[in-house]
Amino acid sequence: MNNPNKKSAEAHRGLQSFLYSPKIAPYVFISPFVLVFIVFFIYPVISTGIMSFQTVLPGKTEFIGVENYTNLFNPTFLKAVQNSVVYTILTLVLLIPGPMILACFLNSKNMIGKNFFRSTLFIPALTSAVVATTIFRLIFGELSGSLMNQIIGLFGFKPIKWLRIQETSFAALVFLACWRWTGVNILYFLSGLQNIPEEVNESASLDGATVWQRFFYITMPMLRPITIYVLTISIYGGMSMFTESYMLWGSNKSPKDMGLTIIGYLYRQGWEQNNIGFGCAIGIVLLLFALLLNFAQLNLFGLFRKEE
Amino acid sequence: MKKVVAKLASLLLAGTMLAGCSGGGAPAADTAKNAAETKSETDKAAVSADGAPIELWTFQEIHTGFYEKMATIWNEQNPDRKIKINFTVLPYDDLHSKLLIALQSGVGAPDIADIEIGKFANYLKGDPQLLPLNDVLDPEVKSRVEIYGKDGQYYGVCFHIGASVTYYNKEILDQAGVDPASIVTWDDFRAAGKVVLEKTGVPMTTAETADPWSFWPMLASQGGDLLKPDGSPDVDSPAFIKAITFVQDMIKEGSIVTAPGGFHHAEEYYGFMNNGGAASISMPLWYMGRFTDYMPDLNQKMIIAPNPVWEKGQPRSIGLGGTGTAVTNQAKDPQLAKDFLAFAKISKEGNIEIWKTLGFDPIRTEVWDMPEIKEPNKFTDYFLNSPFDVLTQIKDEIPAINNGENLPKVMDALKTTTLFRAFEDLEDPAALVAEEQSKLN
């Protein structure tokens, strides 16, 4: 007679022991993430890998071996790789030391208007890339009335077609990146700086260390983990840059491909010309490229070395 | 019953929305899809009231006004086959990418979609996922549907002929004492350019470095094109070299400048032209709308004329640009969608409406001299002459372009490198086109 109740009680206990089990419960809790990760990351990566060996067309999807990869050896792709690499290097050179020094200023006790600068420097990161780039396109307009041409006009220079010359268009791209990301990187470095114990600096100054000595021998080494982190995400961000280049020229088509990035080329081939298989091959190459660069960099800076 | 369904649907919708809020970016897309599905279910419940729903995607807001008008007329004429169009206006790139995915994956495509001609070939690769329209087409409009065809099947209907013409700024020409009617050949054009530059200091015209619209007619009159008739790239033809050389010579003389902003749709260009920056521009007739909307100061100054040619007797125009409207194979009622499309874009009423609402040169040439076309509108008010005066002159001189799978690729090359190197860097034409052709093969 009591059977059903007994059963449900047993089931209840079973469920309880399942949920409270220290072995199983963690997996239950992380399962939403794991599922999302599998469906939206692992699966696309695998299927991109497969598609990179195919021509992908409705009704005519077939394997074509490594043809997509051999097709990559063309001047346009090389130009895209060159652009992405140069852009990445330039942003690294400017966007790591600059924000690091600025963060030191903002962290210093003697700085006036600290909070004001902290918030204003961060504002550009909050604007949408599309809006910001559209404004930059107007700033770097080629007519004499554009802001940049008016500024150089004050110094007696003639108007420049900023976005139609390789060097100046890259300057515009890098300028935009600096404007946008300085605040974010400052934030990273600030959080790192605030983790440096005050005593270390104090005892150093008691021992007579100058400001520069303290910066080079205390601040910089102690910021290493943060610097490596910023470096890693900057390499990834630089290699995958697309929106800025797309918006600066109003389309994916910059003159002589002077602003074409690897993602831009992927977009052009995959979507604009419906060569999805080829687009996948470009994506895979970019992935390997970014992984390789970051692996080399992390190795070089000793992230994989055991702390002694 | 209907109320209950609607209530349930709205509950579901609210539920999915909440789920959407708690989820991350990716699941939100699913939610949107669910919401759309629930919405289309409620739509189905209401079919009998306001007609069968037709999903229509377009990248031009103004096209919706036209379809809306045509749907109203259709519903009056076909009370038993009423339709209700649900519009989705997407940005140009978005529409083409989303449609590509929807057709590739077999779900989520609309019934009818506007596809721009430069992209159309992408949708004909492999087994086309669009429905052939041969059964609803009219032989009268054949040349404007052949560009959307493959293997004898036609998949799209154009809005317009897109006849290329030259717009002259009569005020500037008058100052220089040049009569636009006297410009017949490119040599006349060049001579006039010298006079205009000398007397007014203004260049005769502008050369696009990021778009082919002004350059293409210079090929077409010589019988050249971007693709060969078999569909392979053809950017190193003698016609190409001749046209580039000619433009370069005029650039060196100062009577052609490269278009500010690189193309005739750039904000910089509109401002430049609006201030009397150049004496003429060669663009298809659909460019009229850019004058009326972006260059108000040229009102009552512009006159439309046929393009110059190399030698008398060559075709003075070419049909450029266009939007092929297509029915997808995911259409819920394919025949209804096809019949409506044919009614909207091929029928006489439709063609007249295309001119009235959109200001395009309709594909059905027989309507060009109908009285409805003569009624004044913002275009007839703006220009010194009617576009149909010119159209009737060049009626038999408007060939269609060769379209094919290679066109998106060739257009890309022209828009990024070829024209820029030709007109901005003034590279040697023969060497330049040879190199560009080798990259395309």
pLDDT in tens, B347-360: 999 999 999 888 89
Query: Are β-strands B83-89 and B256-258 bridged in parallel, bridged antiparallel, or unpaired?
Result: unpaired
The four Cα atoms B167, B171, B173, B179 give a dihedral, to 10 degrees, of 80
Rounded CA-CA distance B32/B36 in Å is 6
- Encode burial over B257-271: b for 16+ CB neighbours within 10 A, e otherwise: bbbbbbbbbbebbbb
What was the pLDDT predicted at B139? 78
The closest alpha carbon to B371, from B359, B355, B393, belongs to B355
Contact indicator for B306, B144 with CB cutoff of 8 Å: no
Contacts of B288 (CB under 8 A, 6+ apart): B359, B379, B382, B383, B387
Give A281's pLDDT tier (boundaries 50, 70, 90). Answer: very high
Q: Is pLDDT of B24 > 60?
A: no
Kindly state whether residues A167 and A20 are assigned to the same domain.
Answer: no
Angle at B243 between CA B240 and CA B249, to 5 degrees: 135
Give B9's pLDDT tier (boundaries 50, 70, 90). Answer: very low
Amino acid of residue B279: A
Kindly state whether residues B434 and B333 are assigned to the same domain.
Answer: no
Kindly state whether residues B74 and B152 are assigned to the same domain.
Answer: yes
**Across residues B234-242, what is the average pLDDT?**
95
Q: Is pLDDT of B46 > 80?
A: no
**Across residues B184-207, what is the average pLDDT?**
96
Q: Is pLDDT of B41 > 60?
A: no
pLDDT tens per residue, range A7-48: 677 777 777 777 778 888 888 889 999 999 999 999 999 999
Does A58 map to a domain? no
Best A61, A272, A276, A280 member to test B by mutation, with max B CBs in 10 Å, is: A272
Do B439 and A36 make contact, defined as CB atoms within 8 angstroms?
no
Does B21 map to a domain? no
For A175-306, list the strands marked E by DSSP. Answer: none
Kindly state whether residues A133 and A281 are assigned to the same domain.
Answer: yes
Contact indicator for B104, A58 with CB cutoff of 8 Å: yes
Kindly state whether residues A171 and A269 are assigned to the same domain.
Answer: yes
Which chain B residue has the Cα nearest residue A260? B416
Contacts of B395 (CB under 8 A, 6+ apart): B365, B368
For chain A, list the strands marked E by DSSP. Answer: 54-55, 62-63
Asked if A164 is an interface residue toward chain B (Cβ–Cβ < 8 A), one would say yes
Kindly state whether residues B357 and B232 are assigned to the same domain.
Answer: no
What range defines the domain where residue B350 resides? 52-161+321-374
Kindly state whether residues A42 and A81 are assigned to the same domain.
Answer: no
Which chain A residue has the Cα nearest residue B404? A273
**Across residues B418-441, what is the average pLDDT?**
94
Do B100 and A255 make contact, defined as CB atoms within 8 angstroms?
no
B380, two tokens: 């007839």
Rounded CA-CA distance B441/B427 in Å is 21
Among the partner residues A58, A74, A143, nearest to B126 by beta-carbon distance: A58
Q: How far, in Å, are B241, B242, B312, B316 from residue B222 at the CA level? A: 11, 9, 11, 10
What was the pLDDT predicted at B45? 43
What was the pLDDT predicted at B351? 94
What was the pLDDT predicted at B323? 93
Of the candidates B358, B374, B390, which is a domain's last residue? B374
Q: Is pLDDT of A138 > 60?
A: yes
A14, two tokens: 């079973």
Kindly state whether residues A86 and A36 are assigned to the same domain.
Answer: no
What was the pLDDT predicted at A306? 61
Q: Is pLDDT of B99 > 90?
A: yes
Helix (H) or strand (E) holding B109: none
Q: How far, in Å, are A77, A78, A208 from residue B434 at the CA level? A: 20, 20, 70
What was the pLDDT predicted at B435? 94
Give B259's pLDDT tier (boundaries 50, 70, 90). Answer: very high
Kindly state whether residues A106 and A144 are assigned to the same domain.
Answer: yes
What was the pLDDT predicted at A7? 66
**Across residues B67-83, what is the average pLDDT?**
94
Give A145's pLDDT tier (boundaries 50, 70, 90). Answer: confident
Does A10 map to a domain? yes
Contacts of A273 in chain B (CB under 8 A): 122, 408-409, 412
The four Cα atoms A169, A173, A179, A182 give a dihedral, to 10 degrees, of -140
Kindly state whether residues B264 and B179 are assigned to the same domain.
Answer: yes
Of the candidates B351, B374, B397, which is a domain's last residue? B374
What DSSP assignment string belongs to A42-104?
A: IHHHHHHHHHTTEE--TT--EE-TTHHHHTT-SHHHHHHHHHHHHHHHHHHHHHTHHHHHHHH
Rounded CA-CA distance B43/B64 in Å is 20
Contact indicator for B439, B413 with CB cutoff of 8 Å: yes
What was the pLDDT predicted at A40? 95
Does B20 map to a domain? no
Q: Is pLDDT of B313 > 60?
A: yes
- Encode burial over B298-330: b for 16+ CB neighbours within 10 A, e otherwise: beebbbbbbbbbbeeeebbbbbbbbbbbbbbeb
Query: Are β-strands B302-305 and B83-89 bridged in parallel, bridged antiparallel, or unpaired?
Result: unpaired
Give A118's pLDDT tier (boundaries 50, 70, 90). Answer: confident
Q: How far is B415 from chain A (nearest CA, A)?
A: 7
Contacts of B412 in chain A (CB under 8 A): 253, 268, 272-273
Does B8 map to a domain? no
Of the two residues A129 and A189, the one the predictor is more confident about is A189
Kindly state whether residues A159 and A261 are assigned to the same domain.
Answer: yes
Kindly state whether residues B265 and B335 are assigned to the same domain.
Answer: no
Do B122 and A274 make contact, defined as CB atoms within 8 angstroms?
yes
> What is the count of structural domains for chain A?
2
Kindly state whether residues B353 and B284 are assigned to the same domain.
Answer: no
Kindly state whether residues A233 and A136 are assigned to the same domain.
Answer: yes
Burial classification of residue B11, based on how many CB atoms lie within 10 Å of its CB (0-12 exposed, 13-18 middle, 19 or more buried): exposed
Q: Is pLDDT of B44 > 50?
A: no
Kindly state whether residues B309 and B171 are assigned to the same domain.
Answer: yes
Contact indicator for B370, B352 with CB cutoff of 8 Å: yes
The CATH number for B226's domain is 3.40.190.10
For chains A and B, CB pairs below 8 A equal 75
Among the partner residues B123, B260, B415, nearest to A253 by beta-carbon distance: B415
Do B24 and A36 make contact, defined as CB atoms within 8 angstroms?
yes
Rounded CA-CA distance B69/B344 in Å is 9
Contact indicator for B12, B38 with CB cutoff of 8 Å: yes
Contact indicator for B322, B147 with CB cutoff of 8 Å: yes
What was the pLDDT predicted at A3? 59
- Encode burial over A14-42: b for 16+ CB neighbours within 10 A, e otherwise: eeeeeeeeeeeeeeeeeeeeeeeeeeeee
Rounded CA-CA distance A122/A98 in Å is 14
> What is the count of structural domains for chain B?
2
Q: How far is B360 from chain A (nearest CA, A)?
A: 25
Q: Is pLDDT of B51 > 90?
A: no
Query: Are β-strands B83-89 and B52-58 bridged in parallel, bridged antiparallel, or unpaired?
Result: parallel
Does B13 map to a domain? no
Asked if A268 is an interface residue toward chain B (Cβ–Cβ < 8 A), one would say yes
Asked if A32 is an interface residue toward chain B (Cβ–Cβ < 8 A), one would say no
What range defines the domain where residue A283 resides? 69-300
Kindly state whether residues A26 and A131 are assigned to the same domain.
Answer: no
Rounded CA-CA distance B171/B303 in Å is 10
Kindly state whether residues B108 and B126 are assigned to the same domain.
Answer: yes
Does B252 map to a domain? yes
For chain B, the residue count is 441
Among the partner residues A36, A164, A260, nearest to B424 by beta-carbon distance: A164
Bridge partners of B282?
Answer: B166
What was the pLDDT predicted at B16? 37
Average pLDDT, chain B: 87
Kindly state whether residues B263 and B412 are assigned to the same domain.
Answer: yes
Does A307 map to a domain? no
What was the pLDDT predicted at A178? 94
What was the pLDDT predicted at A308? 47
Of the candidates B334, B356, B374, which is a domain's last residue? B374
Does B269 map to a domain? yes
Kindly state whether residues B295 and B363 are assigned to the same domain.
Answer: no
B241, two tokens: 């070299």
Does A42 map to a domain? yes
Average pLDDT, chain A: 90
Kindly state whether residues B136 and B277 are assigned to the same domain.
Answer: no
- Encode burial over B17-38: b for 16+ CB neighbours within 10 A, e otherwise: eeebeeeeeebbeebeebbeeb
**Across residues A124-139, what is the average pLDDT?**
90
Q: What is the ipTM of this complex?
A: 0.81
Does B306 map to a domain? yes
Best B116, B125, B270, B421 member to test A by mutation, with max A CBs in 10 Å, is: B125
Does B112 map to a domain? yes
Kindly state whether residues B275 and B177 are assigned to the same domain.
Answer: yes
Bridge partners of A186?
Answer: none
pLDDT tens per residue, range B147-170: 899 888 999 999 999 999 999 999
Contacts of B417 in chain A (CB under 8 A): 255-257
Kindly state whether residues A127 and A32 are assigned to the same domain.
Answer: no
Rounded CA-CA distance B100/A105 in Å is 51
What are the two backbone dihedrals, phi and then psi, of residue B29, each rounded to the nearest 5 degrees? -60, -45
Does A268 map to a domain? yes
Does A59 map to a domain? no
What was the pLDDT predicted at B29? 40
Q: Is pLDDT of A155 > 90?
A: yes
B204, two tokens: 């005769």
Rounded CA-CA distance A71/A44 in Å is 22
Give A6's pLDDT tier (boundaries 50, 70, 90). Answer: low
Of the two residues A307 and B242, the one the predictor is more confident about is B242
Q: Is pLDDT of B215 > 80?
A: yes
